[in-house]
Amino acid sequence: MVNDLPGDHPGAPEPGLREREGEILGRIRAGEPEAFEYFVRTYQRKVFRLVYTLVRNAGEADALTQDVFVKAWRAVPDFKGEAAFETWLNRIAVNAVRDSARRRKPVVSFADLAAAEDAGGNELPRAADPTDGTSPERDALSGQIRKRIGQALEALSPRQRAIFVMKHYEERSIAEIGAATGLDDGTVKSHLFRAARKLRQKLEDLR
């Protein structure tokens, strides 16, 4: 269950978590790579959810999530423990998604992928859509709305999209978003404001 994982509520970290994770990091640095599995097991769902919200493709999100953990493992010697491990992991995830977006222009757009997924075109299990069990008209409307939101998010810059998603989809605090993106609180708020304005323009007819 996702909500049972430590660090799911950023405002109230599990007591002793930093110490326990520090001890596991020490084991990894001492040459015990198997100890890293603790971090994968603990954070894989959260990293996947963040990445998936940004890329909207389960297969790509899976590959990127794996890359994030491998990058994190390689960077463990440089991790100083100034931020929480999860915050550091989020930073790696945001950078990985941004780099991936830079490397190649998606052949299929965000929104098309969301629509294909609604049509059962995803190789992974279909989303548990909150509209399941309602009328076909409502399902179609839901698909349309999701497509529009996907298009609107796609119009944001990778950084703005990451900030917006962390705030409104992941419900992270401004301070956490700042730590994950390397920006101060004021800049994060400014990006959020600008992202919301862009979305407003894109979602004009939804209101």
Partner 1 sequence: MSGRHLTEDEVVNRVFPSEEGPAPIPIHQAVCPECQARVAKLREAFLLDRGAVTGVVESLPGDFWTAQRRAVMRRVSELAAVEAEEKATPFPARFTRSILHRPALAFGSLAAAIALVAGLTVLRGGPEAGPAPGAAIVTAAPVNGSAGLSASDRADDELLRSVDSVLSSEASHEALLPEAMR
Q: Let me know the angle formed at the C-alpha of 175 by 111 and 3, rounded to the nearest 5 degrees.
A: 65
**Closer Cβ to partner 1, 19 or 79, answer by number:** 79
User: Segment near partner 1 (CB under 8 A), from 18-26, 70-78, 84-92, 94-102?
Assistant: 70-78
Question: In the chain, what's the furthest Cα-to-Cα distance?
Answer: 59
What are the backbone angles phi and psi of residue 155, rounded to the nearest 5°? -75, -15
What tokens appear for 73 in the block?
């493992």
The C-alpha atoms of residue 117 and residue 57 are separated, in whole angstroms, by: 8
What are the backbone angles phi and psi of residue 158, rounded to the nearest 5°? -55, -40
What tokens appear for 77 in the block?
């010697």
In the complex, what is the shortest distance from the CB of residue 108 to partner 1, in angstroms, rounded to a whole number? 17
What residues from 148 to 207 belong to the interface with partner 1 (CB under 8 A)?
A: 148-150, 164, 167-169, 173-174, 189-190, 192-193, 195-197, 199-200, 203-204, 206-207
The C-alpha atoms of residue 35 and residue 24 are separated, in whole angstroms, by: 6
What residues from 73 to 92 belong to the interface with partner 1 (CB under 8 A)?
A: 73-74
Write the interaction track for partner 1 spanning residues 104-143; mark x where CB under 8 A is met and - where it is not: -------------x------xxxxxxxx----------x-
**Closer Cβ to partner 1, 74 or 105, answer by number:** 74
Would you call 205 exposed, middle or buried from its count of C-beta atoms within 10 A (0-12, 13-18, 19+)?
Answer: exposed
Does residue 70 interact with partner 1 by CB under 8 A? yes
The C-alpha atoms of residue 177 and residue 192 are separated, in whole angstroms, by: 11
User: Which DSSP state fits 8?
Assistant: S
What tokens appear for 201 in the block?
């323009």
Does residue 14 interact with partner 1 by CB under 8 A? no
Residue of 60, 66, 83, 155 that binds partner 1 (CB under 8 A): 66
Does residue 38 interact with partner 1 by CB under 8 A? no
Task: Indicate the SS3 state at residue 161.
Answer: helix
In the complex, what is the shortest distance from the CB of residue 25 to partner 1, in angstroms, rounded to a whole number? 14
Strands (E), the chain: none
Residues of this chain that interact with partner 1 (CB under 8 A) are: 2, 31, 33-34, 36-37, 40-41, 44-45, 48-49, 52-53, 58, 62, 65-66, 69-70, 73-74, 117, 124-131, 142, 145-146, 148-150, 164, 167-169, 173-174, 189-190, 192-193, 195-197, 199-200, 203-204, 206-207
